[in-house]
Structure 1
Amino acid sequence: MLLNESVPQNAQGKEESTQSTLRHTANCVVMVPPKEFRFNEETAQDNEFQHHVSLSQDEITHRTMAEFAAMVQSLRKEGVQVVEFDYPYAEVATPDAVFPNNWFSTTPDGTLYTFPMACENRQHEVRPTALAASLMQSGREVYQQDSLTEYLDEQAYLESTGVMVFDHLNQTVYAALSQRCDRLVLEDYVKRIGYERVISFQTRLPSGAPVYHTNVMMAVGEQFCVICDEVIPEFERRFVLKSLAKDKQVISISIDQMNQFCGNILQLETVRGDKVIAMSQSAYNAFSPTQRNQLSTHGKLLPFDVSTIESIGGGSVRCMLGEVFLPSRKPVL
């Protein structure tokens, strides 16, 4: 049976804290400037969304930094807290650092998790100590850290919310299995956070390859989901859709729409509690008017022009946003 649904035991006594603080949307995100951004030859081995462009490196840097700055400014204007996590240059360049959601995640109990990345140059993005300091400086508590990077020794990988799409309200994780999403590491992480189910499945693109990251083919909001279900084998597809449709409005997208990053969107909330849905301008344009109307009932649509980043990097707006679910720091009296 290709599809795997497991019900792990709650680990480390986290059940009570998880259930008491359960929420789906974050009002704070981490973003990393694309100052070393370029076409990443390592990730291109299994990322069919990457493309070479006829721009000089100076032009690429100028355009991507401008796209990043505009997105940060717009999110803050809407009332979403943005933590800009800059980093010093090192011997190994990190061309995909602009996609931080792949190497860390956070939980409401104050835990910062880090993950094993499949590509060597992406492993150098993982900077938990510096990130924890930046988050705490921004008013968030980091009570503890946990890492799954020991799996690198086994060449087993799990690229965080790139490969895992969460339904936090139902304590369920959806994951397309691939080189970047190892089933055993996936189940270990879901056990650590005390969630109830992991639904893993196979995918197949027209080329025959699997989807490299689940978050390019699907997104889950509080009451909706967007999914390119045609890339899932029929038997598994029925199971996944049945699970999603229990309490979500299912918005199905085509492979062409997926290629325009319609699946790479993220529902967030503002500090006032209003819902917004971040997406690229490419995705916004590729959604049909009916689909845009459906999505707009779940939050204000926020399209961002990140065309240079998504064309060269093979990831879009959701990949640029690392959600922060950490508790806010209490002011010192």
Structure 2
Amino acid sequence: MNAFDSQAARALPASRPACARAAFLVSPAGESLAAESASDNVYMDLSRVFSSDRARAQHQGLQRALSTELPVISFAGDPAAPDGMFPNNVFGTRAGTLIIGQMRHRVRQLEAERSDIRGFFTDVLGYATVDLRGGEVGELTGSLVIDRARGIGYAGLGERCTSAAAQAMAQAFDLRMLQQAALAPGEYHTNVVMAVLAGRVAVLCADGWADPKVADAIAAVYAPQVLWLEPEQKAAFAANCISLRDDSVWMSATAADVLSPTQRTQLQTGGLRIRSVELDEIEKAGGSLRCCVGEIF
């Protein structure tokens, strides 16, 4: 683990917007899962039957649900890029700027070439672009969990994020502080092992990191508002959650179902109402609700 001062991180003012002002999704389009992505995503199981119709229906339900809290737009999926329904790995934003990430797999690199999504941000919203393609692999807010309020990034290093990429992403997102540390063997994205909700509640699974002390250092920033997960809860995507406004947290029904009554109470004590939708078909692709949500700041 690189030097990370939890006390200094805790002291950073929560002076930036903690939650996005809008969100965007990309609808499921592939009739099967991306075998290339499954090579380093243990949450995928290609032996399971995947129903694209059911995935699309669940995705539409997700859009309707999220739209009760903020504006949500959805782009059509591309059958040649079945992982496109997880756009937060490829496209990210800070205020006035679109960020394009460098994906590891070619099947995902295709997503960054979409002129409609890029054009929406540049031509419609007038955003500038920071294009990280050509640099080292760093899969944006899959690999980098961001406390937007304080401007802190937590990067999990591995096959889908290098140290150099973490630093480039931190600069692109205009972060004040960066912690980077190796994920545990078998973990592919940081947002499967942790989340920061509304800038004040951390969700953590210690065994998601090669060194469990990494989780302790992160927890010290948010104590006592820390929700610790067991490995089986992590496997059910309980850490793959997001707050889209200050008083709620979104997660899949699978994730919500594995939370204990004590954990539910803890989130509520932290001022977060649990909201969930069925996404079990989409979760067969190795990601869950947070992965589906592109944030517009």
**Do both share a fold (TM > 0.5)?**
yes
- Aligned equivalents of 2:126, 2:76: Cα separation in 1: 18
Work out whether 1:107 is the aligned partner of 2:94: yes
| Structure 2 gaps, min length 5 | 6-12
Matches within 5 A, 1:1-333: 2-5=1-4, 22-36=16-30, 38-55=32-49, 60-76=51-67, 78-86=68-76, 93-108=80-95, 110-127=96-113, 129-135=115-121, 141-151=125-135, 156-204=136-184, 209-221=185-197, 222-232=199-209, 233-245=211-223, 249-269=225-245, 275-297=247-269, 298-310=271-283, 312-325=284-297
Q: CA deviation at 1:186?
A: 1.0
- Aligned equivalents of 2:120, 2:243: Cα separation in 1: 23
Kindly tell me: are residues 87 and 282 of structure 1, through their superposed partners in 2, closer, same or farther at Cα, counting changes over 3 Å?
closer
Kindly tell me: are residues 70 and 235 of structure 1, through their superposed partners in 2, closer, same or farther at Cα, counting changes over 3 Å?
closer
Instruction: Give the RMSD, CA atoms, in angstroms.
Output: 2.3
DSSP 3-state at the match of 1:83 = strand
Equivalent position amino acid for 1:316 in 2: S
- Aligned equivalents of 2:109, 2:168: Cα separation in 1: 20
- Given that 2:77 and 2:85 are in contact with CA atoms closer than 8 Å, whether structure 1 keeps it comes out as no
| Structure 1 gaps, min length 5 | 7-18, 326-333
- Given that 1:104 and 1:322 are in contact with CA atoms closer than 8 Å, whether structure 2 keeps it comes out as yes
Q: CA deviation at 1:120?
A: 0.6
DSSP 3-state at the match of 2:85 = coil
- Aligned equivalents of 1:21, 1:214: Cα separation in 2: 24
Alignment deviations for residues 137-157 of structure 1 (CA, whole Å, 9 cap, x no partner):
8xx733311100011xxxx20
**Identity fraction in percent:** 28
Q: CA deviation at 1:268?
A: 0.6
- Given that 1:4 and 1:198 are in contact with CA atoms closer than 8 Å, whether structure 2 keeps it comes out as no
- Aligned equivalents of 2:31, 2:24: Cα separation in 1: 17
TM-score under structure 2 length normalisation: 0.89
- Aligned equivalents of 1:87, 1:313: Cα separation in 2: 15
Q: CA deviation at 1:26?
A: 1.2
Equivalent position amino acid for 2:88 in 1: N
- Aligned equivalents of 1:186, 1:79: Cα separation in 2: 31
TM-score under structure 1 length normalisation: 0.80
- Aligned equivalents of 2:38, 2:77: Cα separation in 1: 24
- Given that 2:41 and 2:186 are in contact with CA atoms closer than 8 Å, whether structure 1 keeps it comes out as no
Equivalent residue number for residue 15 of structure 1: none
DSSP 3-state at the match of 2:35 = coil
Equivalent position amino acid for 2:175 in 1: Y
Larger Rg: 1
- Aligned equivalents of 1:79, 1:316: Cα separation in 2: 19
- Aligned equivalents of 1:254, 1:314: Cα separation in 2: 18
